[in-house]
Structure 1
Amino acid sequence: MTTIEVRGLTKRYGSDVVVDDLSFSVAPGQVTGFLGPNGAGKSTTMKMIIGLAAPTHGIVTVGGRRYQDLPVPLTEVGALLDASAVHGARTAYDHLLALAVSNGLPRRRVDEVLARTGLEGVAGKRAGGFSLGMRQRLGIAATLLGDPRALIFDEPVNGLDPEGIRWIRDFMRSLAAEGRAVLVSSHLMSEMAQTADHLVVIGRGRLIADMGMADLMHANGDGTVLVRTGEPFAHHLTAAGGTVRDGLEGALVVSGLSSTEIGKLAAYHGVPLSELTPQRVSLEDAFIELTRESVEYQGAAA
């Protein structure tokens, strides 16, 4: 099974350290979300994985070999870093055919990947006239030409409409289900929450977190509980160790106590509750908390 291994990866541009002693693995059979604020070093890391940038220190291997040592790289790892990197005057078919021929791949693969990405109906149209969603599909088709076991996608859903986002999400999941190692970067936390099995979070080039989605969410707390009652209750919650803030329409947002504990507390004090709803920690909340010290520019609070 093909695994992407990043070990002690460092990249300097002059005095600037863009990636700093970074180590993580992308395992087969799952989608690994690659997250970090702007300027965290995600794109540079991806470029080093596929040989577009040389590490200052460290090593990256795909299936145990460095990218430059792979006989036919496209058969081992496919990468989509820029969906616009296509000759606009070429048809979708000719774009893929040129890639296949130059990599010694059979012509039949062009038809196969066009069909898999839903592009067979526009195979004869020029890529320059494609929408962003269609260009993303064409880029994904190109990554699949060599039937690689490892795949890398940099911000594949940026600018897409809801249908395009859902298609890419489901497609990433299907690729992982086939046993492929899939690395996906994105700034859309809600999308990563539905797509990724595992998360690698970096900030200022350094590793912040490397864990399963469920573990990351648990590590950042159990969320809050939405409480509604027509009687005074906040002081009881605070006395029991909870933190209370006002929510919408008179609700109380409670942290530090579980819904079970709050329910027992209300019963003990004879306080009737009209709502007691656990609110899970969102991936966005967990991400912001993790990367709080790694954001390049922070606006002042209003």
Structure 2
Amino acid sequence: MSMIEVRGLTKRYGPATVVDDLTFTVEPGQVTGFLGPNGAGKSTTMRMIVGLVAPDRGTVTVGGRRYRDLPVPLLEVGALLDAGAVHGGRTAYHHLLALAVSNGLPRTRVGEVLSRTGMESVAAKRAGSFSLGMRQRLGIAAALLGDPQVLIFDEPVNGLDPEGIRWVRDLMRSLAAEGRAVLVSSHLMSEMAQTADHLIVVGRGRLIADTTISELTRTGGAGTVLVRADDPVALTRRLTEAGATVHEGLESSLVVADMAAGDIGRLAAFHGIVLSELTPQRASLEDAFMALTRDSVEFQGVAA
């Protein structure tokens, strides 16, 4: 059984349709990346999963049941949706203790999640003094408190330093390896490329892609070709004349877009230019994401 089932989910605020007939599943044992431009409906969808927002149409279940029908939700679903949703006057320890006691959890769980999130040294400090990164860690600790099989994280690396970002990446992977279903949204495509097993991509509230990273990067962007030639200046001129886009790469290489590797090789041979390397490069996740969501971006700037 899928851990999270979203079927035909729709939410409107006045004339605006924020989530539009959205359908997808989140499976156990993997990290599912939830991607989309700002305003795509990701946060609203996550809030509907945990019952904070009521859908206008459609259904969403966790382990086959609606969130409101779960006897003790914290034991089934852990969620970090707003790192600021904590009483600033409470210490990290007492914030987690209040959650544990109110949900019938043993006090020992507080120490366990503080340890797993690396917060033991600041357990006695008030949450109001925490940086955004530390509040993120506290929110993750709260999500883990009930040892749930389903975890939902909305931008969990926001405010974290590089070490913290790597820690979150490793944590997501380890949670999935334990058989849990992990749904995580992020704007850092490089992190999603290293963390997610599966991707749900939305734009303007609608599903754009439900796929793996490898499939998305294979089909969602044209990629480039790395070329090394004995006469890069002449090759650049010939490629540009033929309609390709050429940029200088590392160590005298050329990075060519808008032309396939085979066509580059034939053009070079026709003009007597010797090539020492001709390597197609798959589009990055960021390239594929940008190509896929180009028509769904709410605000677009113009490069100077």
TM-score (norm 2): 0.91
State the SS of the aligned residue for 2:28.
coil
Q: Specify the code of the residue in structure 2 equivalent to 1:295.
A: V
Q: Specify the code of the residue in structure 2 equivalent to 1:281.
A: A
Matches of 1:265 and 1:301, distance apart in 2: 32
State the SS of the aligned residue for 1:291.
helix
Tell me which residue corresponds to 1:257: 260
Tell me which residue corresponds to 2:153: 153
Q: Percent identity?
A: 73
Is contact 1:32–1:200 with CA below 8 Å preserved after alignment? Answer: yes
Tell me which residue corresponds to 2:282: 280
Tell me which residue corresponds to 2:123: 123
Matches of 2:245 and 2:266, distance apart in 1: 20
State the SS of the aligned residue for 1:247.
strand
Q: Specify the code of the residue in structure 2 equivalent to 1:288.
A: M
Q: Specify the code of the residue in structure 1 equivalent to 2:120.
A: E
State the SS of the aligned residue for 2:101.
helix
Tell me which residue corresponds to 1:113: 113
Tell me which residue corresponds to 2:143: 143
Matches within 5 A, 1:3-152: 3-152=3-152
Q: Specify the code of the residue in structure 2 equivalent to 1:80.
A: L
Matches of 1:13 and 1:300, distance apart in 2: 30
Tell me which residue corresponds to 1:296: 298
Q: Specify the code of the residue in structure 1 equivalent to 2:256.
A: V
Q: Specify the code of the residue in structure 2 equivalent to 1:92.
A: A
State the SS of the aligned residue for 1:46.
helix
Deviation at 1:222, TM superposition (A): 5.3
Tell me which residue corresponds to 2:195: 195
Residues matched between the structures, number? 299
Distance 1:37 1:252, change over 3 A: closer
Deviation at 1:134, TM superposition (A): 1.8
Q: Specify the code of the residue in structure 2 equivalent to 1:290.
A: L
Q: Specify the code of the residue in structure 2 equivalent to 1:188.
A: L
Q: Specify the code of the residue in structure 2 equivalent to 1:5.
A: E
Deviation at 1:237, TM superposition (A): 6.3
Distance 1:175 1:243, change over 3 A: farther
Is contact 2:35–2:187 with CA below 8 Å preserved after alignment? Answer: yes
Tell me which residue corresponds to 2:181: 181
Matches of 1:243 and 1:191, distance apart in 2: 33
Matches of 1:238 and 1:246, distance apart in 2: 7
Tell me which residue corresponds to 2:273: 271
Q: CA RMSD in A?
A: 2.3
Matches within 5 A, 1:211-226: 211-221=211-221, 223-226=223-226
Deviation at 1:156, TM superposition (A): 0.8
Q: Specify the code of the residue in structure 2 equivalent to 1:298.
A: Q
Tell me which residue corresponds to 1:167: 167
Q: Specify the code of the residue in structure 2 equivalent to 1:287.
A: F
Deviation at 1:233, TM superposition (A): 3.9
Higher deviation after alignment, 185-194 or 53-62: 185-194
Is contact 1:243–1:254 with CA below 8 Å preserved after alignment? Answer: no
